[in-house]
Structure 1
Amino acid sequence: MNLAGCTIPHSISSSSYSFKHERDALLEFKAGVNDTSSCLASWSGEKCCNWAGIRCNNQTGHVVKLNLQNTYVDYSFDDWIYHSLVGKISPSLIFLSDLKHLDLSFNNFNGSKFPEFIGAFRNLKYLNLSYTYLSGTIPPQLGNLSRLMYLDIKNYVEYEYLHNQFSTVYMLNTDTWWLPNLRNLKHMEMSGVDFKDSNDWVETLNKLSSLEVLVLSENNLTHIPQSIPFVNFTSLRVLHIYYQNFNTTIPNWVGNLTSLNKLALNYNSLVGMVPPLHSLTKLTDLSLCGNNIEGDIRELLLGKLSNYTLGNLEYLDLSSTNLSGTLTGWITDMTSVTHLDLSYNNLSDTIPIDIGNLTNLVYLDLGSNSLTGLLSETHLISLLKLKTLYLEYNNITILVDSDWTPSFQLNSIDLSSCKLGPKFPSWLRRQVEIQSLYLTDIGIDGSIPDWFWSLSSLSSLHLSTNLLRGKLPASLVHMTKLMYMDLSNNRLEGKIPFLPTSLMMLDLSNNSLSGQLRKNHKSPYKNKSIVSNNNTVEIVELFPCGLPNLYDLDLSSNNLSGHLPPCWSNISSVVNLANNRLSGVVPSSLSCSVTLRVLQLANNSLTGEFPIDLQFCNGLQLLDLGENNFQGTIPDWVGESFQQLQILRLRSNLFSGNIPTKLTQLNNLLFLDLSNNYLTGPLPRGLNNFTSMSQLFSLTNYYYDTIVIVITKGLILEYDSQDFLFLKSMDLSNNNITGEIPKEIVVLAGLFNLNLSHNQLIGNIPLEIGNMTSLESLDFHKNNLSGTIPQSISTLYSLAVLNFSYNNLSGSIPNGHQLQTLNDLSIYSGNPYLCGPPLETSCDSSVRLSQSDGNNNSNSKITDDRDKWLYLFIEFGFVAGFLLVFFILLFKVKWRYTYFQMVDSMLERVYVMGVIIRRQKNWVVAHYNCLWRNSSPNHRCTLQLIKSQTVS
């Protein structure tokens, strides 16, 4: 019988049930989401129990199960996020009152609020809303689900890459008081849910006596009690607590969880001794990695675990725990172990021969220790099940015969920095299942054999930093699984081969390769290309315009010339063309979106103004245009468009004008280098808005792997992405910046380098400069700064480089603390009125000189005052005399007539004298001309002139 919806058995009376509301509720849910992968395509018609993801009770016909988990969850992040449901969880689902199983995991609900109505599903036993991008507070109404047995609401806590955009991951939070109401709960995962720094979370969860699986990660927990009065959750089989900040020892009550099979307390800032775990006789998995346990590994395993427990362990991960000791005397007791990870510790001595007794071993990682000695075939011959072998970064010599046939088939090998060469390891020829191969810096000297390129199972290949020679094959397209290939730092030559369409990362840097990047087919994947430091000549040949959907492109440090090509739109994350011979302007075809994070064009010969199209690159985190010939002003929109910018490097260009005030809106900026330009005007106000520079420690996430050049301490330093947390620097040197140093600059306490040298700065050094506690290098030389050096500078304990030379500073040089070690006289040269150590000028003589100068200045001031009064009296006398004569002539008529007659007589005399002088001058000139025309003296010239003057 069909009751207007789901199919129900004929034995049920149609008059007793009406399920149209359930079908309508499901259709309303469908209407509220974007079904990107068509997983709801079957949701049509009347029989909703036949729809995908729907299950009904065979007896009642009600919907009891809704399972819409994203089926692409086992694929890459890009795959499953593109195939997820996108939208909101419709409250119409509340009409599914018989629902027992609800799974919407790995879909995207766009930060919508966690639905409160779920607390109304009183029959619910299974709830999975993990990785669904829900936000807000987990409603305490979930405490009404008294029948719930499985709860998984883990969530992301970082930024993720969504649909080619950066999207903030929505953080869930909750109190824990409602959790004990879930008295039937057996499985709980709440990773990424903020517990609001709850201090009683252990006591709360201890009330769940039925709990068997507890997984908590990144919950912002800082407190874990060392003991509890009574351990109630003794049913726990799995306890996984990751990435908290406890900063204490492992609590004693963990040793009382006698039902535990799996214990993982990774990366919780746990320190010190491990409590006895002898009672954990059922323990098969133990992971304490990423804590600072220290001590001897033998004492830990033999002293804290029973022999029975050690023999039953199948999974042991003690990586990155700062343990020391050797592998001898305990490793043979682990006869059941399949996964053994002791990497990143301080283990020493040799690998014992009896490691071969661990016949169940599948995964072995002893990398990044201080192990020495030989590893021979005898160590490995019995490890028939071995799939992963990591021995990297030890001082181990691997000694096997050239015709050795391993007894295992490995999936992953990392022997980097071990001694394996000089011949290429021929035993790899029989490792036909190998997927990941790391043989970096193992001393291979020679060519790569032809048979190697037939290992078609390879997905990750790393042979960098060897002495590999010869040519690469003409084509690698048959290696259809190859995604990462690093052959950098070798001596390979010839043409770059045709590349497989699966390739995502390619590094051929520091070889002697040439030609162009080529693919036979259009790649459906995002690709990363790195081809730096080769002998390529023309960027037009090499730039992979035909390679679509590039993720990263690094062609830095080549001999590339020519103009930038118009192939930018296919590159979504990183563009690095630094250290080449590129010229011309940045093309207007540079069309980027928020996905472009890194643009490095430094050390070329590019021209033009600041590229205007960059204003649309809102996702930029690193912009390096240094060492080019860019000119014009730095536009205001830089401070508005680049809100994600962390590194801005424009040094050694031709930029002019003021530093825009809006630049201080870049709150995330860590590194600013505008040196060696023609910038003018004052330093912008609001430097304290560089909030990331003011923080001593930065929690900024970096999404790029690149190198940034920093000039500090008189050195040219290279910083990679791992060092960016320490890259806080401001260099504005070698410009024409004027005005005073803004006082708010002292707020930038995170700066390790501040360089304002070679400018026209005036005024005093800010008194609170000692607040910049991270400074290692401070350079103010060649300015016009005056006043004293603040005493607070002596509190800069990290200061290694200091330069105040060639200013107008005066007074005593501060002493004490770190300044005592900076005794170079050149630090203070060019400031004649500075005194005290390390200068030879004592402050007493400096004071006398200053006093003498002061007396001279005082005498000069007195003289100047006297001169001012003298000039004032003279001007007053002149004005008074003039006014006296004026009034006398105004009121005395006779005197006025006499005065003007006298003036007229004087003027006539002056006029007559002028006429006579002029005539005499004319006569002399005429006489000279007459004589000159007749070539000899003649008295007739004189008589003639006398007659003419008389007539006149």
Structure 2
Amino acid sequence: MTYSSLNFLLLLFIQAFLANCCIEREREALLEFKAGVNDTKSRLASWSGEQCCNWAGIRCNSQTGHVVKLNLRNTKPYNLDNIYIIGDDYYDWIYHSLVGKISPSLIFLSDLKYLDLSFNNFNGSKFPEFIGAFRNLKYINLSHTGLSGMIPPQLGNLSRLMYFDVSNGYPFSSFMLKTDTWWLPNLRNLKHMEMSRVDFKDSNDWVETLNKLSSLEVLVLYNNNLTHIPQSIPLVNFTSLKVLHLSNQNFNTTIPHWVGNLTSLNKLTLRNNSLISMVPPLDSLTKLTDLSLCWNNIEGDIRELLLGKLSNYTLGNLEYLDLSSTNLSGTLTGWITDMTSVTHLNLWNNNLSGTLPIDIGNLTNLVGLDLSSNSLTGLLSETHLTSLLKLKYLYLANNNITILVDSDWTPSFQLNSIDLSSCKLGPKFPSWLRRQVEIEDLGLIDTGIDDSIPNWLWNLSSLGSLDLSTNLLRGKLPASLVHMTKLMYMDLSNNRLEGKIPFLPTSLKYLFLSNNSFSGQLRKNRRSPYKNKPIVSNNNTVEMVELFPCGLANLHYLDLSSNSLSGQLPPCWSNISDYVNLANNRLSGVVPSSLSCSVTLSVLQLANNILTGEFPFDLQFCSGLQLLDLGENNFQGTMPDWVGESFQQLQILRLRSNLFSGNIPSKLTQLNNILFLDLSNNYLTGPLPRGLDNFTSMSQLFSLTISSYHTIVIVITKGLILEYDSRDFLFLKSMDLSNNNLTGEIPKEIVVLAGLFNLNLSHNQLIGNIPLEIGNMTSLESLDFHKNKLSGTIPQSISTLYSLAVLNFSCNNLSGSIPNGHQLQTLNDPSIYNGNPYLCGSPLETSCDSSVRLPQSDGNNDTNDRDKWLYLFIEFGFVAGFLLVFFILLFKVKWRYTYFQMVDSMLERNSLL
């Protein structure tokens, strides 16, 4: 063996040895990092021993032994294309995260070139400044790690950096990084930059700054609080850009002209930026294959946009086009056939009209087509679809399209997802879907199907989401659906289905069966089928006994409202964390403490049952409640003081038609977020609490807070029983304290509640005047004070309530003339004022002339005071006169004899008569 060969082998041996032996100080630094995080899933289990270059996520330089790569990216991150983490993806991420802080000991990894700690949880830790010392770094990925604070400008020293991603998002949206931009041009080799949800602090020159990065190929900025984007720049320098993603900003202007000069662009995304009107020419973007302008107010004709701003070459090369929700009009004809390369076409939620052109079938590369929520009409037949061999996603919902295909048609494609909701599809169930064996999501809402559900549908094992609601489906469901192991969402509500509810698959998280005719008992599986959000509403008879077994876990959402459930509430409810609706049943007994033990519970509806007992004590621990409805039950006792202290997030409180008694607690006015308060039809006594002006959400014309859940709430107003979605209470704020035994005067501060649309204090024992400034309650549509003991005149300011539609002041002691003018001219029903004998003027027949006798006490404070003093002086005069006569007779003997002789003579005459 030659000398050179020996040297070569020796060199290989040394390199192999060094590749497995890292520097001791660097090993210690890594161990310090490990000590600073919580590694619950043992992802760093291999980090032990001397050979740190063999540890998971570590790579060393084969010649020097220095650590050059640290890659601890979470092994189960959520889909980067999703804005929100959905379902198990969130739990996988959190489950596998390293939790803690980034140890500054890593500064000893002086030769580090690659750093990736993405999708771990550093929970608000400050961005580590020492990273600016890694002069050899070429790759940094600290995205979605919950870092906060300023990005240190020392990172400008990383002149070799080529990849930089510090994006952040859900579930770390409460943490936001900030940055100045002056140091960014120092990253002269940078090719890839993502800084989504980084606040570009007070920067209006961010475009000019980034324009200096001539090597930049990918720029992703999402939700950066940017408000300014220049329409032009003197010289476009970053012409190497291949991907420009600017989304969720606040530009409120037109698309900048300089975008048309980025001739290397492959992908342009400008979604949700409040961009308006004119689009500059983009015909020079000949390499463009991906264009998204969705969620802007582009307006105009879609044909003019695509043919007038893009060259035929560019239009023909586009593979992905998203113009959804841009307020575009026009038709699909005259341009769609030019898109010969398109694979995904999304025109959802626009104003497109006309029919589907037959030659849409020429788009043979089409994988996804979304034309839903437009005004399209006409027919869709096999001819439109036969040549679309690659089609996987078809969305035509919310149009006026008629689906007309032969019952024996066999499609040439296999769909993963289809939504034909609101199209005309019935009356028969579409049999051609039987052959779509790969379908995962099926939506046929309100399609006019008047048929039974075919058995073959339940054999589609790939189904994950099934929505057949609001049709005329009839018949029974199979006895068991446990074989549908991928089914997570099923909505069969608003049909005519009957029979028993089947055994359900353990995968099911969302179940909607409301407004059918299901009966019998819900039978429990050996393993609970309900893991998340089961909903079974508005059916006939479903017993409670086996409905909700105690072994349920991870239950977030339960709606069993509007059935015929009876019996007492079972004791096992502690797993329900978000939403409980058991309204409109026949449940009896007391509320178990476990029903109200979750601090995250947002909605609790128990209305219209036969529940008894006092106000549930354990509810005080539900500090997250936003909606509480205990109405129409037999609850009794007093309202506890802690209601106002514990429910700081409460927006809807409904306790009507119970047996509550005692005073309204004064601390109730601490509910600053309350939008809807109904305590009517109880036995409450005492005065209205002072401090009603603390109901700040009621005082605002518009509110920013509202329940994240929507549910139906019964409101009695304008003499009608109405149903409102809870989300509508931003604008439909109400206070109803009627049908109690409340006393005292109406607090003057009530007029501050300018956001109220309904105020009902009728059927009480209230006295005193109507507040003079009631006209300040400018949102009032319904005002009811009837059957009280109110006195005085009706304030003239009431005539300024322009929205007032219902008014009732009857059966009080009001006096004087009825105000007129403005909205009151339309309220000309005399019954509004009947039962007030001293009122006069239109619409009453009693005119206001001098013959009208006013009451001795008309409620006017000055008159009342004068009357009180008059009576006092009369009584004082009578007493003084009596005492004067008494003392005269006592001390004047002659006068006394004369007086009694006169009395005796009068008595004798009377006896003779």
The answer to whether the superposition gives a TM-score over 0.5 is yes
1:297 paired to 2:317: no
Kept in 1: contact 2:22–2:67 (CA 8 A): no
Distance (whole Å) between structure 2 residues aligned to residue 403 and residue 323 of structure 1:
37
In structure 2, the residue matched to 1:918 is none
Aligned pairs for 1:651-670 within 5 A: 651-670=656-675
Instruction: State yes or no: 1:639 paired with 2:666.
Output: no
Note the alpha carbon deviations across 1:787-835, whole angstroms, 9 max, x for none.
5555554554444333344444455655555455444444444445556
CA displacement at 1:714 relative to structure 2: 2.5
Correspondence 1:499 to 2:512: no
Equivalent residue number for residue 42 of structure 2: 38
Q: Which moved more, 1:679-688 or 1:826-835?
A: 826-835
The structural deviation recorded for 1:856 is 11
Could you say if the C-alpha distance between residues 77 and 45 of structure 1 is closer, same or farther in structure 2, counting changes exceeding 3 Å? same
Equivalent residue for 1:119? 132
Which residue of structure 2 aligns with residue 738 of structure 1?
Answer: 743
After superposition, what is the alpha-carbon deviation per residue over 1:142-167, rounded to whole angstroms, capped at 9, x for unaligned?
3343333322222236xx5xxxxxx9
Is residue 597 of structure 1 aligned with residue 608 of structure 2?
Answer: no
1:376 equivalent to 2:381? Answer yes
Partners of 1:843 and 1:174 in 2: CA distance: 73
Q: Which of 412, 423, 428 is equivalent to 1:418?
A: 423
1:79 counterpart residue number: 92
Residue of structure 2 aligned with 1:479, choices 472, 477, 484: 484
- Structure 1 length-normalised TM: 0.85
Residue in 2 that maps onto 1:871? 878
- d(CA) in 1 for partners of 2:12 and 2:97? 31
Q: Any residues of structure 2 matched to 1:156-555 within 5 Å, and which?
A: 156=169, 160=171, 169-196=174-201, 198-518=203-523, 520-522=525-527, 526-555=531-560
Which letter does structure 2 place at the counterpart of 1:337?
Answer: V
1:613/1:842 CA distance change after superposition, 3 Å: same
SS of 1:354's equivalent?
A: helix
Structure number with bigger Rg:
1
Q: Distance in 2 between matches of 1:811 and 1:185?
A: 82
The 3 A distance-change label for structure 1 pair 755 and 189 is: farther
> Would you say the 8 A contact 2:131–2:155 is kept in 1?
yes
Aligned-partner Cα distance in 2 for 1:504–1:397: 32
Q: Quote the residue 2:141 is aligned against.
A: 128
Cross-structure match for 2:910: none
Task: Confirm or deny: 8 A CA contact 2:16 2:62 kept in the other structure.
Answer: no
| 1:754-811 per-position Cα deviation (integer Å, ceiling 9, x unaligned) | 3333333344444554444443333333334445555554554444333344444455
**TM alignment of 1:777-926, pairs within 5 A:** 777-809=782-814, 817-831=822-836, 864=871, 867-868=874-875, 870-871=877-878, 873-875=880-882, 877-878=884-885, 880-881=887-888, 884=891
Matched, 1:94 2:107: yes
Please state whether the residue corresponding to 2:433 is helix, strand or coil.
helix
Query: Partners of 2:315 and 2:662 in 1: how far apart?
Result: 71
User: 1:597 & 1:20 partners in 2: Cα distance?
Assistant: 53
Cα distance change on mapping 1:674 and 1:521 into 2, 3 Å: same
The 1:32–1:517 alpha-carbon spacing in structure 2 relative to 1, beyond 3 Å, is farther
Q: Distance in 1 between matches of 2:648 and 2:771?
A: 29
Q: Which moved more, 1:847-856 or 1:24-33?
A: 847-856
- Tell me: CA distance 1:717–1:876, structure 2 relative to 1, closer, same or farther (3 Å): same
Give the 3 Å change call, closer, same or farther, for CA 178–555 of structure 1 in structure 2.
same
1:150-185 CA-to-partner distances (Å, cap 9, x unmatched) read 22222236xx5xxxxxx9832333443443333333
Residue 150 of structure 1 is matched in structure 2 by 163
Q: CA deviation at 1:874?
A: 1.9
Which residue matches 1:103?
Answer: 116
Following superposition, the deviation at residue 409 of structure 1 comes to: 0.4
Partner of 2:6: none
1:713 aligns with 2:704: no
Distance in 2 separating the partners of 1:244 and 1:764: 53
What's the counterpart of residue 67 of structure 2?
Answer: 63
Cα distance, 1:593 vs structure 2:
1.9
Shift in alpha-carbon separation, 1:846–1:714, aligned structure 2, 3 A: farther
Compute the displacement of 1:421 (Å).
1.4
Given the superposition, is the C-alpha separation of residues 437 and 840 from structure 1 closer, same or farther in structure 2, using an over 3 Å criterion? Answer: same
Kept in 1: contact 2:508–2:529 (CA 8 A): no
Q: Larger deviation: 81-90 or 175-184?
A: 175-184
| CA pair 35-864 structure 1, distance change in 2 beyond 3 A | closer
Distance change (3 Å), C-alpha of 1:57 and 1:688: farther
Alignment partners' CA distance in 2, 1:836 and 1:227: 69
Cα distance, 1:876–1:199 mapped onto 2, change above 3 Å: farther
SS in 2 for 1:446: coil
User: Offset of 1:679 from its aligned partner?
Assistant: 1.8
User: How much has 1:40 moved relative to structure 2?
Assistant: 1.2
Is the deviation greater in 830-839 or in 623-632?
Answer: 830-839
With 665-674 and 738-747 compared, the bigger mean Cα shift is at 738-747
Measured in 1, the distance between the counterparts of 2:750 and 2:390 equals 62
Match for residue 626 of structure 1?
631
Cα 1:851–1:724 shift into 2, 3 Å: closer
CA contact (8 A) 1:35 1:85 kept: yes
Q: 2: CA distance between counterparts of 1:717 and 1:857?
A: 42
How many angstroms apart in 1 are the aligned matches of 2:558 and 2:478?
23
Mark the runs of 5 or more structure 2 residues left unpaired by the alignment: 1-10, 79-87, 898-913
1:649 aligns with 2:654: yes
- The whole-number CA distance in structure 1 between the counterparts of 2:519 and 2:605 is 22
Aligned-partner SS, 1:729: strand
> Which letter does structure 2 place at the counterpart of 1:661?
S
Q: 1:341: Cα distance to partner?
A: 1.1
Q: 2-side partners of 1:275 and 1:507: how far apart? A: 47
Render the CA deviation track for 1:828-853: whole Å, top value 9, x for unaligned: 44445556655566666699979999
Give the match's secondary structure for 2:578. strand
Q: Is the 8 A contact 2:176 2:199 kept in 1?
A: yes
Alpha-carbon distance between aligned partners in 2 of 1:771 and 1:704, rounded to the nearest angstrom: 32
- Identify the residue that residue 902 of structure 2 maps to in structure 1: none
In structure 2, the CA distance between the partners of 1:56 and 1:769, relative to structure 1 (3 Å rule), is: farther
Please give the per-residue CA displacement for 1:38-81, whole angstroms capped at 9, x wherever unaligned: 21111111121211122222232222222222111136112212
Residue correspondences, number: 874
Aligned-partner Cα distance in 2 for 1:695–1:214: 42
CA apart distance, 1:360? 0.9
CA distance in 1, matches of 2:495, 2:186: 64
Work out the CA distance in 2 between the residues paired with 1:882 and 1:99: 121
Q: How far did 1:627 drift?
A: 0.7
Supply the distance in 2 between the matched residues of 1:810 and 1:251 (Cα, whole angstroms).
67
Q: TM-score, normalised by structure 2?
A: 0.88
Q: Matches of 1:39 and 1:852 in 2, distance apart?
A: 84
Q: Which sits farther off after the overlay, 544-553 or 784-793?
A: 784-793
* In 2: Cα distance, 1:859 partner to 1:462 partner: 74
The Cα offsets for residues 894-952 of structure 1, whole Å up to 9 and x where unpaired, read as x9xxx9xx9xxxxxxxxxxxxxxxxxxxxxxxxxxxxxxxxxxxxxxxxxxxxxxxxxx
The one-letter amino acid of 1:304's match is: K
2:728 corresponds to 1:723: yes
Residues 781 and 277 of structure 1: CA distance in aligned 2, closer, same or farther (over 3 Å): farther
Aligned-partner residue type, residue 407 of structure 2: S
Amino acid at match of 1:10: I
Q: Which position in structure 2 is the counterpart of 1:923?
A: none
Paired position in structure 1 for 2:581: 576
Give distance in 2, aligned partners of 1:404 and 1:87.
Answer: 58
